[in-house]
Each structure stands twice: as structure tokens, then as C-alpha cells.
Amino acid sequence: MSELTKEQQVFEPPEEFKKNAWIKDESVYEEGKDYRSFWAKRAEEMVDWYEKWDETLVENPPYYKWFVGGKLNASYNCLDRWVEKGKGDKLAYIWEGEDGQVRKFTYKELQREVSKFANVLKNMGVKKGDVVTIYLPMIPELPIAMLACARIGAPHSVVFAGFSADSLKDRMVDAGAKYVITCDGYFRRGKLIDHKKKTDEGIESLDVKSIVVKRGGNEVNMKEGRDYWWHELMEDADETCEPEVMDAEDLLFLMYTSGTTGKPKGVMHTTGGYLVGATTTMKWVFDVKEDDVYWCTADVGWITGHSYIVYGPLALGVTSIMYEGTPGLSEAGQVVGNN
């Protein structure tokens, strides 16, 4: 390691911050030595269960099963329980587009949109266990689609919108996905990206159905019998959709590696263990409180975005900011958008 990369200073947090932090000392490390008991306690604190688990952890290296026999639903934990606890009017998301457009969703409104789109998916033939590919930029329909999939037990596979048509195709073929959610276009660094054209190239030879969000307003080709507008499908969708009771070890989503070191590999994230882990780290690492407004600058196309833009914040009832493009720096060194 070069001398330039060695950090010599220690930055102590302010006393007031330490006083109000969720984790105030190092006793958590001692507690964590008994990791079965440690994670069982976190599961009871962080997540609502339909049925409690029989075993916290079953180890059969390299395979590990968490909260075996437990029943839950990730979408319920992110939305319904806050509405049921009287927090439905609290803001879940404040979204801003590169063009300055702002959209806000309370937990009650987000629950309604998720339930409607869950019914859209079911009406299109999506069943529990079917993988749904989501090829969307940073717009509200992305977390809505993810939570709708989780609501009906259909594992989602989010493909980063910046990836190529071939990358989309490879991941859909590998996952066996017959459905893809995309958009006409979107804005990034001041440019309108023709996303539908790229999607069409990726699914040209595949037997799939495509749901298209209207965001960019650009002219796109809609193939009859394959492509459907999101807003048209949502018009008559029922606003009520009961969450599917899922086993803790049921697949919540696939997250593919980038492929920079070989063929992309689909990493399986199951419902119980992932949700407990994401919620715990969200609360403790970021030290979020109920009245905080939180912003994660990652893209939902990566695991950081899954955990700390969607599942982590919503499972804690936190208000989050989503931004469509990429923030930059002004000449004065201030963080600004690109609109």
C-alpha cells in the first residue's frame, strides 16, 4: 500500500450523534458471536411474520437456509403494515426527474399502485414462481414493479437500464423470463435515451410479453400482441391485491453479476434472510430515524439500490428520495442535477 492511500487520522463522531445512535457501543459485536440468537432477535425486531420460523438457520455448507418454516411477504412488510399502523399518509418516495418533474408517493398511495400493478401482472398470466425481468431506469415504476412482483410471489430480475440489448437478452434467457417491464425513453445527463429501441433489439427473437412505461414521450414501435402500455393496463386494474404468503426460503429476486469477469451469474436472494439482513443494516449502518429524509445515490439496478432504495427504507417506514439521472458538481463544487 502506498503512503498516499494510508489514512492516519481518526474522525470521532460528535457526542450528540453517539448519544442518539441506534448502536452506541461495541457490545453488538459480543452479541453477534452467537449468530443464531443474534439474527433470530433481529428477525423478530425488524420483520412482521405470518408464521414464525421453526429453525433460525440450517447449515449444509456451502448451502445455508435462514428462518426455515417462517412465512412472510416482503411487499406487505414494506407497505401494508405501515398503512395498518396509521402511517399511510407518510411520504414513502419523493422522486425528481432530470427535467425537474417531481412525483410524491405516500405509503398508502404506493400500496395502491403496487396492488394495481400486481393485478396487471396476474391478468397477463404471471404466476407465483415466474421470473419477471425489469429493465427500467430510476423512475417510480421501478420500485412499484419490484414490490408488485414480491406481492404475488414472482421473483424479479432487475437489469440495469444502462446495459446493452445483448445483456438484457442473456439475462432473460438465463432466468427463463417470459415478461419484461421497460419504458419508451428516459433522461440521463440531459439526453433522451431511446430505451424501447434497445429493448426491442434484446427481445426480438424471444417469446415474451413487454409492458412499456411512458416516460420520455418519444415515438416508439409497439408490436401488437407483445407490447402493452403500462398506463393503459393500470386504468382498469383492481386496487386491492392480497399479498401472497411466502416461505422464508422462497426466491425474492435474482441479481446478476456485471459479467466483467466472465458470464453473468444470477445470484439468488431468498425472502426471509434477505429482508432481515437488508432492514437491519439499513437501520444500523445508516442510523436512520423515523423523521429522516434519506437519499441513496446508487441505481436500483445494483444490489445497493435493491437494499437501500427499495427494501431497506420501505421496510423501516422511511421517506426516501429518488433521482432519475446522475448528480454532478457545479463550478462552485455544489451537488446539482443535470436538468
What's 269's domain CATH number?
A: 3.40.50.12780
Has residue 299 got a pLDDT over 70? yes
1 in any annotated domain: no
Residue 181's nearest CA partner among 130, 228, 138, 219 is 228
CA distance 197 to 245: 37
Q: How confident is the model at residue 11 (pLDDT cuts 50, 70, 90)?
A: confident
152 in any annotated domain: yes
Residue 172's nearest CA partner among 141, 199, 137 is 199
pLDDT at 263: 86
CA 102, distance to chain mean position in Å, is 20
257 in any annotated domain: yes
pLDDT tens digits for range 94-137: 999 999 999 999 999 999 999 999 999 999 999 999 999 999 99
CB-side neighbour CA atoms (13 Å) of 15: 0
171 in any annotated domain: yes
pTM of the predicted model as reported, rounded to 2 decimal places: 0.93
- Parent domain of 198: 37-325
pLDDT tens digits for range 253-270: 999 998 777 788 999 999
Domain count for the chain? 1
25 in any annotated domain: no
Three-class SS of residue 288? coil
99 in any annotated domain: yes
CA distance 182 to 141: 9
82 in any annotated domain: yes
Q: How confident is the model at residue 189 (pLDDT cuts 50, 70, 90)?
A: confident
Residue 87's nearest CA partner among 104, 73, 108, 103 is 108
189 in any annotated domain: yes
Has residue 330 got a pLDDT over 60? no
